[in-house]
Amino acid sequence: MLATGVGRRQPAPGTISRSVQVDLRSPWAIRDVEIPTRLVLAPMAGVSVQAFRRQGRRYGAGLVCSEMVSCAGLQHGNERTLGYLRISPDERPLAVQIFGSDPAVMADAARMVEDAGADLVDINFGCPVKKVTKTGAGATMLDDHARACAVVSAVADAVSVPVTVKMRRGLQNGSRACLELGPRLVEAGAASLTLHPRSAKQMYTGEADHSLTAELVSLVEVPVIASGDVTSRARAQAILATTGAAAVMVGRAAQGNPWALREIIDGDAEEPSREEVVAELLLFIRETVRELGNHRATGFLKKFYGWYLGRGRFPRPFKQELVQLATLEEVETRLLAAAPGAADVLARLQSELPDAEDDVVLDLPISIYGGG
C-alpha cells in the first residue's frame, strides 16, 4: 500500500521542523494512480509541451502535467488548432489540466481527456490571467464556491480516473478562500488538491505563504501538493516538513533547467557542462518540432534559449544571437559549433528515448492561451 502523505501528525502552521526529512524518492498515490516520487512538474502555459514533460520525468519528476486546455475548445472542435497533445509512455503518469466554468462542458471535456489516455484530470482554479478569468474560469472560481463545487462534481461523475484541482489562496491578497473551498471540493469529488498560496492579485510576486498549505493539509483527507517557491532541495524539504504535504510542485525553477529537478530530488547540485546544456536544448528543440511542427516551434522555442543558456552558462550575447537566427537549422549549427562535444551527449539521450511510434496522439486542440 503506497503512502499518500495524509494522516501524519502536522506541525503547527508556520513552524519549522528540521528533524523531519522526507524521502523525495518515496512513492505515493492519488487514489489508484501510483506516483514514484514526491516531485511534481507544474502545468505551465506556453511551456509544458510533451518535450518539457518527458524531460521532467527523466530528471526525477514523479508526475507531470499538461498545460491548461480549454474545455470550450474541446467541446466545439473549431478552435484554431495550435498543436496536438501527445502522451508518450515515458511521461506517465500524466495529468491533463482543463479549464472552464460550465459544469456540463467541463464534464464533456474530462471524458475526452480520459478517453485519450490521461491518468488524471486536473481542474484549473488558479490561473490569474485576465483572458481566462474574464470567462469565469481559473482563479475566478475561488470567489464562486457553488460553481466550483458543481464543476468538480460534474467532472468527477463523468470520469473514472481521479480528479484533482489546482488553486491559489484566493483572488485578493490575504484571502483565505482556499481553506473554505478546499474541503468542499474534496466533498464534491476531488481526489487531491494543489495549493499555490499566493493570491491571484499577486501573480508571481512576493512569497508563497505555506502556512496556508499546512492548514489545508489539516482540513482534508486527500493528498495535498505544495506549489510555490520550490527552488531547491532545502526549500522542498522545509515545505514538506512544515506543511505535511504529500509532494511539492516545481514550476518556473525547471524552465530550461532540468538540473534543478535533479538537485531537489537527489541533492546533486553539480552544474551541468556546456555540452550537457547544449545537448538537452537540442533534444528539446527536436522533440518540440516533432510535436508542434517547424513553423510553430520556431517562435515557441525562442524564450527557452535564455532559460537554458543563462545562469552564467554562456555569454549573454550568445542567446541574442540565437534568437535572431532565421531557422532552427541555423540554431542547431550554431549550438554545436559552441559545444561540439554535445553531439555525442545528444546521441546518447536520443538512444534512450522510446520510439516516436509509441506516442498516443490526442486529436485535441490545445488552448489558445498556451502561447505556442
> Which string of DSSP letters, residue by residue, matches 298-365?
HHHTHHHHHHHHTTTTS-HHHHHHHHH-SSHHHHHHHHHHH-TTHHHHHHHHHHTSPPGGG-EEEEEE
Find the length of the chain: 372
Cβ atoms of residues 165 and 190 within 8 Å: yes
Spell out, as residue ranges, where the chain has pLDDT lower than 70.
1-20, 76-86, 356-372
What is the four-CA torsion angle of 307, 86, 188, 368, rounded to 10 degrees? Answer: 60
Backbone angles phi, psi at 159, to 5 degrees: -130, 160
Cβ atoms of residues 164 and 194 within 8 Å: yes
Whole-number pLDDT of residue 358: 59
Distance CA(14)–CA(17), nearest Å, equals 10
Whole-number pLDDT of residue 352: 87
Whole-number pLDDT of residue 346: 97
Distance CA(269)–CA(30), nearest Å, equals 30
Cβ atoms of residues 93 and 35 within 8 Å: yes
Q: Which residues pair with 100 in a beta bridge?
A: none
Whole-number pLDDT of residue 359: 60
Q: Tens digit of pLDDT for each residue in 238-261?
A: 999 999 999 999 999 999 999 999
| Among the listed residues 236, 280, 192, 194, the one whose alpha carbon sits nearest the alpha carbon of residue 39 | 236
| Ordered DSSP codes for 125-142 | E----HHHHTTT-GGGGG
Whole-number pLDDT of residue 72: 77
Q: Any catalytic annotation for residue 65?
A: no
Cα end-to-end distance, the chain, whole Å: 41
As a whole number of Å, the CA-based R_g of the chain is 20
Q: Which member of 65, 71, 127, 149 is catalytic? A: 127
Whole-number pLDDT of residue 84: 41
Q: Tens digit of pLDDT for each residue in 155-209?
A: 999 999 999 999 999 999 999 999 999 999 999 999 999 999 999 999 989 999 9
- The cell for 202 is 499577486
